[in-house]
Structure 1
Amino acid sequence: MTTPTTPANPPAPAVTPYRSQLASARAGFPQLLRAEWTKLRTVSRWGATLLAAVVVTVLVSLLSAYSGSSSFSGNRSAPPVGPDGTVVSDNFPFVHQPLTGDGSITARVSPFTGREGSIAPWAKAGIMIKESTKPGAPYVAAMITQGHGVRLQSNFTHDIAGGATNDDEPHWLRLTRSGDELTAYESADGKDWNKVGTAKLTGLPRTAQAGLFVATPGQVRVERQFGSTSVGSEPAEVTASFDHLTVDGGQGGWLQDDIGEVLPEGSEETQGATEKSTEKSGTWTLTGSGDIGPFTPETDLTQQSLSGAQIGLIPLAALGVLFITAEYRRGMIRTTLTASPRRGRVLAAKAVVLAGAAFVAGLVAAVLSFLLSEPALREKAPNPLFHPEAALTDGPVLQAVVGTAVLLAAVAVLALAAGALLRNTAAAITLIVILLVLPVLLLSGLPLDTANWVMKLTPLAGFAVQRTLPEYAHTDDICLPEDGCYPQGPWTGLAVLCAYAALALGLAIWRLRRRDV
């Protein structure tokens, strides 16, 4: 019988390598998000900071709406309303005659002459086919302007650019009607014609009014010095002559009407028109003021109702900084990075959680600020007709409210990145406040061009998303930084702030990966 032998060195039993359950739990990005969310919601003072951001934003907005003197000026009568419901300026001298059915009007328009030789760039003179002489009635106009060449404008808000004009030479214009379509042409000599464009007036009656007009916005003077800005205006007046005038399809003689209000000479208002219309040997000479175009309110009520966000961002900036510097101060960052060695993902998870919480808090704050403040601001307006009621579901309002929440979330992420880079709570919070609050205090003391560049290129640009007033290329409104007027579009401004936040976060991730804890 053979006895089995035992090997001198038996093989060791297989052992499963130990893996930290903590590291395994946090290996994936969803697990990192859960861990960072747990940190945020379990620290009571951080939740209190989110609540403080909401309360501060709403309270500051309410104080701005209810306290202080009204920022509105003037006591205007009921404004005319255009075909699409937009409040408009429609004030000018109109020499016209009925045009029945299809037809055309042609005229040669002389260069402008103005009071004391000063002529506004959007002074305009030309030919028009208008539904009626009622202010706000639909129209199409072919015109020359002082500083913007030939234009085809219709229904106050639509504008098509034509060719350039010579300020020393007359220019020919023609406007033809074919049903509801009206087409404008221009010519330097009355022989070679170029098409400017076509506009459609749906529902234009068979008999409309075809004629001549002249108008010019008022002269505006802006004087700026540190701490104050003075804006003054006075009526302007221009003269233009019309000859070689023909109307194909016209009926009857020429009529003279004043469209809109006529203001006394020297009035401080610029919404009316003063005019003189004379005819000699077939040449009409029109002198007038006023304007034809969209009316832009002086104050953006929605933007003002959200003004508390400029102060409400401070608690969120503090939270963003503390969300990372608290871990450094207590030494917890070593535990976090040991459990999750991929440092970039840790900071990215913090940014996502913080941005989500800040967005929700910002959205609540913006909704409450608008609903509570906007009605109070409307009541302070001398004529609410210039400031129609706005609903939360209106496109521009929704853009401003949601955009404010995105803005606050971006500020929180920017603050997080600053905290990760500086690792000093006080220094990081101070930096964010300097970037976003200090420029607001300094804008009124800067030259206008410099102030506009500050609003374009700094994180302050993000507040442009709160502006809801429409902007038109064919108007010459005064855009002052202290009035909350931004030189760029709403989403462009917000994109600038988000770019700062993304760049700072990327830099913070890069530094975190390359230095010791």
Structure 2
Amino acid sequence: MTATAHRAADTLPDVDRPSFARLMLSEWTKLRTVRRWTVALLAAPVLIILVGVLTASSSQPGALDSPLVGPDGTWVQDRFHFVHRPLTGDGTVTTRIASTTLEFSVPPEDGGDARARDVERTVWSKAGLMIKDGLRPGARYAAVMVTPGRGVRLQSNFTTDIAGPAAGAPTWLRLTRAGSTISAFQSADGLSWDPVGTVTVPGLPQTVEVGPFVTSPTATLLAQRQFGSIRLGQYPTTTRAVFERPTLEPAGAPGTGSGEPSDGWQDDEVDDSAVQAGTPPAPDRAGGKGPQAAPPPAVWAGDRLTLVGVGDIAPRTPGEDVIKQNLTGGYAGLMAIVAVAVLFVTAEYRRGMLRTTFAASPGRRRVLAAKALVVGAVAFVIGFTASVAVLLITQPIMRDNGFLPPVYPDWSLTDPTVSRAIVGTAAVLAAIAVFSLALGTVLRRAAGTVAAVIVLIVLPQLLASGLPPVAGQWLMRLTPAAGFTIQQTIPRYDHVPRICVPENGCVYDQPWAGFAVICAYALVTMAVALWAVQRRDA
């Protein structure tokens, strides 16, 4: 049939065409009756499960320095310098932060001034006011703070972060308690107050500790990249903050009678390092700098208070994404799915059978659409079934290997992030199958098409491990490999810096964004294939 003839066939009345459902049934029959294709499709879930089990069996969790958990069971870090007084019932604490200074050093061999700018941009040093359930690390709290470069923030119970005015020191801050409701305010002059936000901290006792605090986390940056290895550099920081006229209303605990501004204020270091669970990370993984030294005591000069702080108040995340790690078999199963999807169209081209198909089913675009839906649906079912199976099989293996709460919480298939990883993996395999079929339609060569798809998915993973982080991230973002970002399940917090290692899935902040990339590849290539199949002879 010539190109003109098959375009005319596309205009035949619908009564002369088989229904689209019958077209799909016909294509499904073709797919399942070719024995080697069936064997390859059955091998795909086996490969996904086998690779997942082998990965889980050989995985070991990294050493931990603290298993501290917050009020909701989240793994957290909680170290800061705290000058405080007891507050019984409702009340308000106010202060003016006159200045904050971040102090750190970067060795010349690690980049010197260039790396220093990265540290300043990354570190979430915090100075402000806090209401806390005692001095126990991990206890409930709410705090309003100045964060260099990020303005005033209201944070509570480690995971809540509310952005306030884009103000820095000098500035006035205020926290007001009304039962379990904590409200934060900021002022430029101490007279006119702007609200920062309000949080509810359930379970706060009648008497809490309130006052100024300072904390300054260690900056962890990617120090060196080599093929197949990652080296992180750790740079301890300290923050020096000057507070003016910290006041508590009502006054709380009685003073000493000396009339000094420091009356009734106690100086303490809340330190989670007392909660030990193992040894610090290995030097080649995290720099091996050791813990930060205790800061000097608070210094009063009239109504001015100088605090130096180290540590952090924030949630922590594990280094290994257990779910994503156990779904890595998707890459192995993908090879078989890609081969079948390509052969599903190129085999008919090679043998001339596609002419018969088009003659029996006028409307070439409908035939190609039916093929795409069939191969995509089969890939989705394979991916979904294998993902569910591998996670059920590997969960007890990971627990036996030490991946235990609180660092690695227990999970179930119904957890939203786990469900998204499972459905997302199946959807990525389906999208890549459609992309492969469409590319095979355009190229008409099985070997070249399979090689092109595999290179587009696997090669970026290999190259990203040796490229500078930004280049590696963009390489992963712009290729179909970005689709596997949807497997990520480690929670991300806007107020917690993270190390971006593109080949480990650090590509997009939103998991669905990576899936959109592979969908775009599939849709664009499918559009080209539909155009080509209508204008070229079979």
- Return the TM-score normalized by structure 2: 0.86
Aligned CA distance change for structure 1 residues 453 and 406 (closer, same or farther; 3 Å): same
Equivalent positions of 1:7-22 (< 5 A) are none
Residue 62 of structure 1 deviates from its aligned partner by: 2.1
Contact 1:479 1:487 (8 Å CA) reproduced: no
Does structure 1 residue 464 correspond to structure 2 residue 455?
A: no
* Match in the other structure for 2:67: 78
* Match in the other structure for 2:94: 106
Residue 189 of structure 1 deviates from its aligned partner by: 2.3
Residue 431 of structure 1 deviates from its aligned partner by: 0.8
Aligned CA distance change for structure 1 residues 109 and 379 (closer, same or farther; 3 Å): farther
Contact 1:302 1:374 (8 Å CA) reproduced: no
Contact 1:464 1:491 (8 Å CA) reproduced: yes
* Match in the other structure for 2:473: 452
Equivalent positions of 1:19-38 (< 5 A) are 27-38=18-29
Backbone CA RMSD of aligned residues: 2.3
Matches of 1:307 and 1:115, distance apart in 2:
41
Aligned CA distance change for structure 1 residues 240 and 451 (closer, same or farther; 3 Å): same
Q: Secondary structure at the match of 1:277?
A: coil
* Match in the other structure for 1:93: 81
State the AA in 2 paired with 1:101: G
Contact 1:354 1:412 (8 Å CA) reproduced: yes
* Match in the other structure for 2:518: 497
* Match in the other structure for 2:170: 170
- 1:93-151 alpha-carbon deviations (Å, 9 max, x no partner): 22211112221100111322233476553111100111222222221111001221111
Aligned CA distance change for structure 1 residues 452 and 309 (closer, same or farther; 3 Å): same
Aligned CA distance change for structure 1 residues 258 and 116 (closer, same or farther; 3 Å): closer
Matches of 2:387 and 2:352, distance apart in 1:
36
- 1:8-45 alpha-carbon deviations (Å, 9 max, x no partner): xxxxxxxxxxxxxxx97961101101101111111121
- 1:430-466 alpha-carbon deviations (Å, 9 max, x no partner): 1100110111111011111111112222211110110
* Match in the other structure for 2:261: none
Aligned CA distance change for structure 1 residues 186 and 223 (closer, same or farther; 3 Å): same
Contact 2:181 2:201 (8 Å CA) reproduced: yes
Give the gaps of 5 or more residues in structure 1: 1-22
Contact 1:273 1:288 (8 Å CA) reproduced: no
Match of 1:160 among 146, 159, 162: 162
Q: Secondary structure at the match of 1:115?
A: strand
Q: Secondary structure at the match of 2:272?
A: coil
Matches of 1:290 and 1:510, distance apart in 2:
60
Equivalent positions of 1:101-140 (< 5 A) are 101-116=89-104, 119=120, 121-140=123-142
Q: Secondary structure at the match of 2:214?
A: strand
Contact 2:65 2:273 (8 Å CA) reproduced: no
Worse-superposed segment, 232-241 or 395-404: 232-241
Contact 1:65 1:377 (8 Å CA) reproduced: yes
Matches of 1:289 and 1:420, distance apart in 2:
60
Matches of 2:531 and 2:47, distance apart in 1:
34
Q: Secondary structure at the match of 2:196?
A: strand
Does structure 1 residue 197 correspond to structure 2 residue 197?
A: yes
State the AA in 1 paired with 2:467: L
Matches of 2:339 and 2:16, distance apart in 1:
29
Worse-superposed segment, 272-281 or 140-149: 272-281
Contact 2:89 2:206 (8 Å CA) reproduced: yes
Contact 1:61 1:306 (8 Å CA) reproduced: yes
Does structure 1 residue 63 correspond to structure 2 residue 54?
A: yes
Matches of 1:240 and 1:56, distance apart in 2:
57
Matches of 1:271 and 1:397, distance apart in 2:
34
Contact 1:121 1:148 (8 Å CA) reproduced: no
Contact 2:211 2:246 (8 Å CA) reproduced: no
Aligned CA distance change for structure 1 residues 356 and 105 (closer, same or farther; 3 Å): same
Worse-superposed segment, 251-260 or 40-49: 251-260
State the AA in 2 paired with 1:33: M
Aligned CA distance change for structure 1 residues 405 and 25 (closer, same or farther; 3 Å): farther
* Match in the other structure for 2:295: 275
Does structure 1 residue 150 correspond to structure 2 residue 170?
A: no
Equivalent positions of 1:342-361 (< 5 A) are 342-361=363-382
Matches of 1:215 and 1:77, distance apart in 2:
18
State the AA in 1 paired with 2:525: A
Residue 66 of structure 1 deviates from its aligned partner by: 2.3
* Match in the other structure for 2:247: 246
Equivalent positions of 1:208-219 (< 5 A) are 208-219=208-219
Residue 368 of structure 1 deviates from its aligned partner by: 2.1
Residue 262 of structure 1 deviates from its aligned partner by: 4.4
Equivalent positions of 1:221-232 (< 5 A) are 221-227=221-227, 228-232=229-233
Aligned CA distance change for structure 1 residues 277 and 383 (closer, same or farther; 3 Å): farther
Q: Secondary structure at the match of 2:191?
A: coil
- 1:393-428 alpha-carbon deviations (Å, 9 max, x no partner): 211111111111111111111110111111100011
State the AA in 2 paired with 1:46: W
Matches of 1:397 and 1:272, distance apart in 2:
36
Matches of 1:39 and 1:430, distance apart in 2:
24
- Deviation >6 Å, runs of 4+: 269-273
- 1:52-75 alpha-carbon deviations (Å, 9 max, x no partner): 1111112222222223x74x4333
Equivalent positions of 1:40-51 (< 5 A) are 40-51=31-42
Contact 2:404 2:410 (8 Å CA) reproduced: no
Matches of 1:470 and 1:261, distance apart in 2:
22
Contact 1:152 1:197 (8 Å CA) reproduced: yes
Match of 1:417 among 428, 438, 442: 438
State the AA in 1 paired with 2:299: E
Residue 302 of structure 1 deviates from its aligned partner by: 0.6
- Return the TM-score normalized by structure 1: 0.89
Q: Secondary structure at the match of 1:479?
A: coil
Aligned CA distance change for structure 1 residues 272 and 470 (closer, same or farther; 3 Å): farther
Residue 270 of structure 1 deviates from its aligned partner by: 7.3
Higher RCO (CA-CA < 8 Å; seq separation 6+): 2
State the AA in 1 paired with 2:64: N
Contact 1:262 1:274 (8 Å CA) reproduced: no
Q: How many residues are matched? A: 489
Q: Bigger radius of gyration, 1 or 2?
A: 1
Aligned CA distance change for structure 1 residues 250 and 351 (closer, same or farther; 3 Å): farther
Does structure 1 residue 258 correspond to structure 2 residue 259?
A: no
Matches of 2:385 and 2:289, distance apart in 1:
41
Matches of 1:339 and 1:241, distance apart in 2:
83
Q: Secondary structure at the match of 1:237?
A: strand
Matches of 1:271 and 1:61, distance apart in 2:
36
Q: Secondary structure at the match of 1:402?
A: helix
Residue 474 of structure 1 deviates from its aligned partner by: 0.9
Aligned CA distance change for structure 1 residues 294 and 354 (closer, same or farther; 3 Å): same
* Match in the other structure for 1:292: 313
Aligned CA distance change for structure 1 residues 382 and 415 (closer, same or farther; 3 Å): closer
Worse-superposed segment, 291-300 or 480-489: 480-489
Aligned CA distance change for structure 1 residues 261 and 82 (closer, same or farther; 3 Å): closer
* Match in the other structure for 1:3: none
